[in-house]
Amino acid sequence: MTSSPELPSWLTRVGVFDLETTGIDVARDRIVTAHVGVLDHHGAEIAARTWLADPGIPIPAAATAIHGITSERARRNGAPAAQVVAGVVTALRALLGQGVPVVAYNAAFDFSLLAHEARRHGIGELQDPSPVIDPLVIDKAYDRYRPGKRTLEIVAAHYRVDLQGAHDASADAVAAGRVAQALSRRFPLPASAGELHTRQIGWARTQAASLTEYFVRTGRIDPEERLDGRWPVRVGDPSERAGEPASERR
């Protein structure tokens, strides 16, 4: 039996981050649960923090159907939203400040929503968070023509990463980290997390442009509309369209 290829040194200790929310509008929706952790070179989680927030607005039934958190539970057991946002920002800032890459699946959703939440509560937001690793962007860049959706569940299964309890922030964050490590064993990733971060900025822009062309061609958006390809944070006009269809966010 052959051993798995070695991980790049910058993936032997990696942060993981995920949010479950009231919806998919990064400017208007709120955090319900959040998870920030650290994986070792085996993909085992060696540090972790999970938050449950009272988002301050009702949690729609459609969102509850996905992550299982009701408005009543969030009000009863959740911490104030500002406290949760501050805790998540502090945890991520600490990891990034140490040069630890942070993995987030469809990172532009989680980091953008977190930025809007920070602004909403008067908390200093992360400035140009880096290095960030987004398995969705990387998978599309290296395996562009593979058919089918690219939700975390589907992509994790493709790379033989176990994901039990999908749409739990902890389970999704850990699975995303393990998918990132699996990608590094499958494809020739750049030599550093910083270089990978820079490449993902371009890949995300290209992917959004390609998806825009497809949506215009199939009539899903008007010809003058454009998907937002900024990565890993999109904080602008709330009317801007997201860079990923809702079906691929998770």
* pLDDT tens readout for residues 189-218: 999 999 999 999 999 999 999 999 999 999
Q: Residue 91 pLDDT more than 90?
A: yes
Q: Residue 249 pLDDT more than 70?
A: no
- Give the pLDDT confidence score for residue 237 in this predicted structure: 46
Order of all β-strands in the sheet with 31-39: 79-80, 45-54, 31-39, 14-21, 102-103, 132-133
pLDDT in tens, 154-173: 999 999 999 998 889 999 99
Distance CA 170, CA 111 (A): 16
> How much is the pTM?
0.93
| Percentage of residues in the chain having pLDDT higher than 70 | 92
Q: Residue 235 pLDDT more than 90?
A: no
The third-level CATH classification (topology) of the domain covering 10-242 is Nucleotidyltransferase; domain 5 (3.30.420)
- Give the pLDDT confidence score for residue 165 in this predicted structure: 87
DSSP string, 76-135: HHPEEHHHHHHHHHHHHHHHHHTT--EE-TTHHHHHHHHHHHHHHTT-PPPSS--SEE-H
- Give the pLDDT confidence score for residue 248 in this predicted structure: 53
Average pLDDT in the chain: 93
pLDDT in tens, 8-37: 999 999 999 999 999 999 999 999 999 999
- Give the pLDDT confidence score for residue 236 in this predicted structure: 57
The model's confidence at residue 4, banded by pLDDT at 50, 70 and 90, is: low
Q: Residue 242 pLDDT more than 80?
A: no
Over residues 39-43, mean pLDDT: 97
Q: Are 215 and 200 in contact (CB under 8 A)?
A: no
Longest dimension (CA), the chain: 55
The model's confidence at residue 92, banded by pLDDT at 50, 70 and 90, is: very high
Distance CA 31, CA 65 (A): 15
Distance CA 40, CA 116 (A): 30
Report the Cα 26 to chain-centroid distance in Å: 12
Distance CA 176, CA 180 (A): 6
The model's confidence at residue 239, banded by pLDDT at 50, 70 and 90, is: very low
- Give the pLDDT confidence score for residue 17 in this predicted structure: 98
Over residues 116-143, mean pLDDT: 98
Instruction: Name beta bridge partners: 48.
Output: 37
Q: Are 18 and 34 in contact (CB under 8 A)?
A: yes
Distance CA 32, CA 87 (A): 13
The model's confidence at residue 6, banded by pLDDT at 50, 70 and 90, is: confident
- Give the pLDDT confidence score for residue 109 in this predicted structure: 98
- Give the pLDDT confidence score for residue 250 in this predicted structure: 52
Q: Residue 149 pLDDT more than 80?
A: yes
